Structure 1
């Protein structure tokens, strides 16, 4: 079985706060339970890329049983001997392994037997892991009382983000309110978060105007924290090269 490290963040491209370790793991390390959601990279012959399955169960050293992969509402038909790459996030780790299709079953419902993983690669992820993104954001500066300033989120973690604006919006420690949306499994979730500006760097564009601001979130509501964290984890799994 070939090495799967190229499916996970590379330490050479990550900052000190991104990943702490990349190594081989055991099946038990993934702590998979019935109902867990996994991402499957399907063979090119299916005409589909990445899809999602849920764990039905497993027989140690023999097979993992998962639901038939779905891309949106479309079921992807795998056949015996197809090779897939499986990715999963569990606790503070991102995992990936290769598996072959042992059998695709249609009764009593559509499900798939995957070969038991022989090599599992993973990265230990710190809580402050940042991922690149490019999402529009509206910034309200409380002490200024002016109209909201549009900007772009350049990266985000569970504790803060980096944003870019064309106009100066404040000094260090200025309180701001950020309004933006994050996509989770195809659905945009609106957020309105209180934060503080921590640093500013001039970042001129072709017109000679622009600023980058490091922003720390204030204490987030549990629901907001879960949305931000879920977006970061989803990005780690689906787009590992965006980890910084």
Structure 2
């Protein structure tokens, strides 16, 4: 798994941070289209933190129109002059920009006019960008052995995962079948894939030996590949501090 660049992030006190490796982008670079999903960092006074919205449209250099942000099933009522941070993934880039609420409207539906973004920061999302996870998994040795053991997926990329387990499940170039669930847009989506063992590390603690397996996905089907990429991109946008 290759090294990655960092992504835009925001502290709990709403101080915007630029990634350590970044460059400026134009509004056109984001290639926003009607219906695209956005993550909105709401003012602390709303009690919402992260919420989600969709693009309604925009008027160049005047206003960006979005649906009223929603957290869970609750609509977040922004008011004029509120400051928000907007994050979006487009193609191979993650973007972030600040905007102020010009007008919160209720008719003909709840939507918001944001100030047109002037400064847009972003970073390239490489093919093997990894994100931290804590996903319960079951690993099974492929072949005559067939033994299984529980484990935890500690990080994941489009090409593989890091698995932690208490069981010895093989050596380098061995194969495992991995079953776990990806929480995609608040829905747990099961994944059942085969992976090649690329490296093994053993650590010792008070409970005994802990094994860390670096695994590369093996012949992912198109739908599984899409699910993994969607989860990685979702995490980059919603939890940028989880990027490795």
Q: Within 5 A, what are the aligned runs for 1:50-129?
A: 50-129=50-129
Unmatched runs of 5 consecutive residues or more in structure 2 = 1-6, 11-16
Normalising by structure 1, what TM-score?
A: 0.91
> Is the Cα contact below 8 Å between 2:9 and 2:241 reproduced in 1?
no
> What stretches of structure 1 move > 6 A for 4+ residues in a row?
none
Aligned partner of residue 77 in structure 2, secondary structure = coil
Map 1:171-186; keep pairs closer than 5 Å. Answer: 171-186=171-186
Determine the structure 2 residue equivalent to 1:193.
193
Matched length? 232
Aligned to 2:138: 138
Contact 2:67–2:112, Cα closer than 8 Å, also in 1? yes
Please tell me the root mean square deviation across aligned C-alpha atoms, in Å: 1.5
How far residue 241 of structure 1 moved from its aligned partner, in angstroms, is 1.2
SS in 1 for 2:104: strand
Does the CA-based 8 Å contact 2:135-2:153 persist in structure 1?
Answer: yes
Deviations 1:96-125 (A, max 9, x none): 000000001111111100000111110111
Q: 1:6 to 1:223 in 2, by over 3 A?
A: closer
Q: CA deviation at 1:207?
A: 2.2
Partners of 2:73 and 2:116 in 1: CA distance: 27
Gapped runs of 5+ residues in structure 1? 12-20
Structure 1 distance, partners of 2:234, 2:177, is 24
Assess, with a 3 A threshold, how the Cα gap between structure 1 residues 76 and 229 changes in structure 2: closer, same or farther.
same
State the alpha-carbon separation in 2 of the partners of residues 118 and 206 from structure 1: 54
1:23 aligns with 2:23: yes
Say which SS state the counterpart of residue 204 (structure 2) adopts. coil
Corresponding residue for residue 230 of structure 1 = 230
- Please name the residue that 1:15 is paired with: none
Q: Deviations over 1:24-48 (max 9, x none)?
A: 1110010000000000011111121
Using the TM superposition, give the Cα deviation of residue 176 of structure 1 relative to its aligned residue in structure 2, in angstroms.
1.1
Contact between 2:137 and 2:151, CA under 8 Å: does it hold in 1?
Answer: yes
2:3 maps to what in 1?
Answer: none
Return the offset for 1:144: 4.3
Contact residue 9 and residue 240 of structure 1 kept, 8 A: no
